[in-house]
Structure formats: C-alpha cells, structure tokens
Structure 1
Amino acid sequence: MKKNNINSIKDSGFKVPKDYFSNLEDRLMSEIKLNQTVKDSGFKAPDDYFNTLESNILSKVSKKEPTKVIPLFNKKNLLYITSIAAAVLLLFNLSIFEKETKWDTLDADTVENYILNGNVGTYEIASLLLEGDIEEENFTSIEFTDEAMEGYFIENANIEDLMIK
C-alpha cells in the first residue's frame, strides 16, 4: 500500500450539491417564515393523553385471561395407555406364538439327563403315565442266563468291584 502524505491531499472527500450555498439563504428564510405562520402541525393528542398513558398500558397488560390447559397425562388417557400396553404385553406372553413340544421331538438322552439330574422321583414319573402305559404287555421281559451274566461280568467288571470288603 502506498503511503500518501497527508499534507499533499487536495480533496477532502465531501461533496455538496451544485448551487447549494447560492440558494441556502432563501430556503432558510422560507422555512422560518413557514414556522412563524403555521403554529399547528395538524396533529393533536387528546387531553391528558400522556398523563394517563402509563396507567392505561399497565391496566391492559396486567389483565390476564385464564388459559385452558389440557394435561397430557390425565386419568382417562393414562388408563387407556396402560390398558393398551397390558394387552400388548399379554399378547406376546401368551402361548399363541409358541409351538407345542411333542414327545417325538425329544431326545432320549435329554429326557434321561433330566430325570437323573432334575431330582425327579418315582411319584412324579408315575403321575405322568397313563393307565394304558402301565399294562403288563407293554413291558418286555428279558431273561438272563448264567452264561450271559458270566460273560458280561468278565468283559465289564473289575476284580476289585467283585471283592467283598
């Protein structure tokens, strides 16, 4: 940026309209004459307007009309919402969507482990059986011969298990 010497500036930057000062005196005189002849501007405020203005404004502002407030959670709406939520909860908790478990789909190992580890007694098992399940022809009888028993003990038993203590 160039450094301009302040003393060398010839133009001040302000401009006045052409012939402003030549007719300035005439315009001022006409304005003074107009003010002397016309005392009333044409606008009139009512009597005691500015004395009572503050009290009028405060009286209008301080009047509060009660507004009607509708609460979001009144007893009726709360009852509707809770009943709908309870109905939806019951719908999902009921066994509508569950498939029934069938005895054919159970593994024998699973049932055996449940009976052995689930503290299930003979009375609980007997209560599950029907009268037709307990008939004698439903049970197969296996007879063991002495040779079969001896072969089983030879193959599976330890000598320590057979010793009397």
Structure 2
Amino acid sequence: MKQNKLHNIKKTGFKVPKDYFDTLEDALLSDIKLKEASNDSGFKLPEGYFDTLEDKVMEKVSTKPPVKVVPLFRKRSIIYISGIAAAALLLFNLSIFKSKPTFDSLDFETVENYILNENIGSYEIATLLPEEDLLEENFIEYKVEEESVKTYILDNLDIEDLIIE
C-alpha cells in the first residue's frame, strides 16, 4: 500500500445509522427504567412462612407408619450356602483326585534331563534302584555287541575324545 497519500484522506470510513443520536437518549432512559423494574421479581411470600415451615414438614413426615423391611437373603441361608461352597472348593482343591505319577508314565528324556541337570551322583541313583537290579551277576552276564558299541561311540563322542595323546 502506498503510504504517501494517507495525510490527504478526509473521511474516516465509519457511518452512523440515520437518526441515531435523536433516539439515543430515549433508548438509554428506557433501559434504566427496565433495570429498575426488573429488581422486583413479582413473587411474594406470606408473612411467617419460614417460621411454620419446619413444623409442617415434620408433621407430614412423622404421620407415615414405619415400613417393615423384609431382607432378600436371610442370615442363616447365607451361612449355609457359603459353607456348601467352601466344602466344594476344598473337595476340588485337595489331592483326592490327583494321581501320583508312576515310572511307566514318565518320559525317558524328562528323567535323563533331570538326572543331568540336578547333579545327581551314582550313589543317589543306586539308592533308588532295588537290590535285585544291583547284583553283580546282572553286570557280568550282560553281553554287548561290537556293533552297538561302535554306533554309541560315533553318536555320542567327539573325535577329540577318541584321539589318545
């Protein structure tokens, strides 16, 4: 915008409605009279209303007969039901229904991993076996085939274990 012509402007650009200042005084006086009239709400209380209000309310409230309250659940029935529920929970949580594991149901890999990871020695394993299985005759008469020894060595031992120094 060119600012060199601003000092030559004679009109401000604002306009007032026609006859605005002729009716301004009347509009202001009517607003003042309206505000004075609106302070009075138009509602009036009878004399002594709040003095007798409490007595009237108490009279209406106290004339009603007391209502008998019948409980939905009696105390005795709640005790019986909770006792039955507790007995049922104990029955299901006790080990009555649980069966003990047998050696036949155990997985071979599970037992092997347990023995390897728990650092169980040969003496602890020997205490678990019956004496009949530990007889010397069982170990002497056991015949090992050469083929099974070779496959065991190839499957379970490393080459470094086989090299004799």
**Fold in common (TM above 0.5):** no
Who wins on radius of gyration, i.e. which is larger? 1
What is the TM-score normalised by the length of structure 1? 0.38
